[in-house]
Amino acid sequence: MTADSASSSAIKDARRKSVKANLKGLAFVSPWLIGFLLFTIYPILASLYYSFTRYDVIRPPKWVGLENYVTLFTDDRVFMTVLGNTVYFVILGVPLGVVVAFLLAMLLNNDIRMRPVFRTIFYIPAIVPVVATAMVWLWVMNTQFGLVNSVWTSWGHKAIPFISSPEMAKPSLILIYVWAQGNAIVIFLAALQDVPRSLYDAALVDGAGRLARFWHVTVPMCTSAILFVLITGLIFAFQYFVLPWLMTAGGPKNATEFYSIYLYRNAFQYFKMGYASALAWVLFIVIVIFTIMVFRSSARWVYYGDAE
Q: How far is CA 146 from CA 39, 149, 245, 285, in A?
A: 43, 5, 20, 40
Residue 113 is predicted with a pLDDT of 87
- Cβ–Cβ < 8 Å for 275, 75: no
Parse the chain into domains and list their residue ranges. Answer: 2-50, 69-301
Q: Which pLDDT value is given to residue 21?
A: 86
CB 84: neighbour CB atoms within 10 A?
A: 12
pLDDT tens, position by position, 12-53:
777 888 888 888 888 998 999 999 999 999 999 999 999 999
CA dihedral 97, 101, 102, 105 (to 10 degrees): 180
pLDDT at position 305: 66
Interhelix angle for 166-179 vs 77-108, to 10°?
40
Expressed in percent and rounded to 5, the helix, strand and coil fractions of the chain are 75, 0, 25
pLDDT tens string 265-289: 999 999 999 999 999 999 999 999 9
pLDDT of residue 36: 92
- pLDDT at position 308, please? 43
Return the closest-CA partner of residue 51 out of 284, 239, 286, 292: 284
Neighbours of 239 (CB within 10 A): 14
pTM of the model: 0.88
DSSP string, 214-240: IIIIIHHHTHHHHHHHHHHHHHHHHT-
Q: What fold is seen in the domain 69-301? A: MetI-like fold (1.10.3720)
Residue 302 near residue 227 (C-beta atoms within 8 A): yes
Kind and range of the H or E run holding 5? helix 2-36
Pick out the chain residues at pLDDT < 50: 1, 307-308
How confident is the model at residue 25, as a pLDDT? Answer: 86
CA-based torsion, 93, 94, 95, 101: positive or negative: positive
Radius of gyration of the chain (CA): 26
Task: Give me the residues paired with residue 69 across strands.
Answer: none
